[in-house]
Amino acid sequence: MMGIVARAESGATILELRHHGGGGGGGSGKSGGRSREEELGGLFSSDAARVSSLQRRAGGGSWAEDKAAAAAATGRVPVTSGARLRTLNYVATVGLGGGEATVIVDTASELTWVQCAPCASCHDQQGPLFDPASSPSYAVLPCNSSSCDALQVATGSAAGACGGGEQPSCSYTLSYRDGSYSQGVLAHDKLSLAGEVIDGFVFGCGTSNQGPFGGTSGLMGLGRSQLSLISQTMDQFDGVFSYCLPLKESESSGSLVLGDDTSVYRNSTPIVYTTMVSDPVQGPFYFVNLTGITIGGQEVESSAGKVIVDSGTIITSLVPSVYNAVKAEFLSQFAEYPQAPGFSILDTCFNLTGFREVQIPSLKFVFEGNVEVEVDSSGVLYFVSSDSSQVCLALASLKSEYETSIIGNYQQKNLRVIFDTLGSQIGFAQETCDYI
């Protein structure tokens, strides 16, 4: 495992973000022999399952039956996707107790959790498991603690609960519709972020975990809830964080900045802010209003309304009416290139073999307040095949108009995205996403 790459500067704490392709090792043992298309098929299946899970949560639906099923299965939740789940997400390494943990940065999760020893059932992890026995500052939280209560509120069910008898610890179960889950106890320990130490940081110590987490330790919960990293570090960072996601999938890194010091950013355009839509009944998500989309400078009639800005979803998913309008305009402007079959969740594809130059129409999202955010050109098309015979528009359609559109991380590359939870606004600026 790589060491922690982080530093404090001008009152801000800066962590390196790396793209995590999810090698992880082990698992089915077949990944080495799988084609690129098979790998991508698994990743997109996982992404579609995540989108489905977020829809359920954003719709105010209860997770209770999911959690009850997970508990009844005592740690064995069936994986609904047939593909081996891996992660195409961004990771940061933090200090926890006396060790380190490399965790997926997730703006849609309420709770930070890591895999803990001794582990009854864990996904493959590249580094050592967190060992509570080796940390003198580690302690399990009792089931009558305010944090245990907060977990129940955040997840909308008895996710943090006391077992029968005299069990004193707060147990938790987080399970998702894609078959991934984490079960264990709620605990606290010292969290170290670039030298900034947060004593008594509450997290999940998971001893039964499964899902598309690759070789990571677990998840960093950056969502809007009482137990998220952002809420727990309010005194240190004033409820502000931002990230810049790197362009390439390897040999590049971006940054996660905690704190409101904008002087450490390297943005090339001014920061523009749109209002964050607050909806306390709809989970930990960061909502904004999407008022329009432009393709190649041509405004597409759209009324997507409330959308989730998410670091953990790969491909942006739009309600069918908006997606179809965007697709039609893109096909019109891209008409000179032959079409190719769709791939997984991507249904608008082209065969670009033999073309030396390709003119890619620009893609802009327009948010409330006439805030225009241009997607990096690398976030418009997805190269499914390395020979360019199948290159797809990197957007997907949701199943229903009643679902909530999601801005995924593939369309957030080379942007500084700022989440100001106290000011209730989200900012965007162009930035070349190297580790700063």
User: Which residues have a catalytic role annotated?
Assistant: 106, 310
Q: Do residues 171 and 164 touch, judged by C-beta distance below 8 A?
A: no
Q: Nearest to residue 217, comparing CAs of 96, 103, 85, 75?
A: 103
Radius of gyration of the chain (CA): 21
For residue 362, the Cα-to-chain-centroid distance in whole angstroms is 25
d(CA 422, CA 330): 38
d(CA 121, CA 136): 25
Cβ-count burial of 346 within 10 angstroms (0-12 exposed, 13-18 middle, 19+ buried)? buried
3-state helix, strand, coil in the chain (%, to 5): 20, 35, 45
Q: Do residues 228 and 110 touch, judged by C-beta distance below 8 A?
A: yes
Across 95-122, b (16+ Cβ under 10 Å) vs e yields: bbbebbbbbbbbbbbbbbbbbbeebeeb
Cβ-count burial of 268 within 10 angstroms (0-12 exposed, 13-18 middle, 19+ buried)? exposed
Q: Do residues 271 and 257 touch, judged by C-beta distance below 8 A?
A: no
Q: Do residues 257 and 13 touch, judged by C-beta distance below 8 A?
A: yes
- The structure tokens 């992660």 sit at 87
Q: Do residues 295 and 361 touch, judged by C-beta distance below 8 A?
A: yes
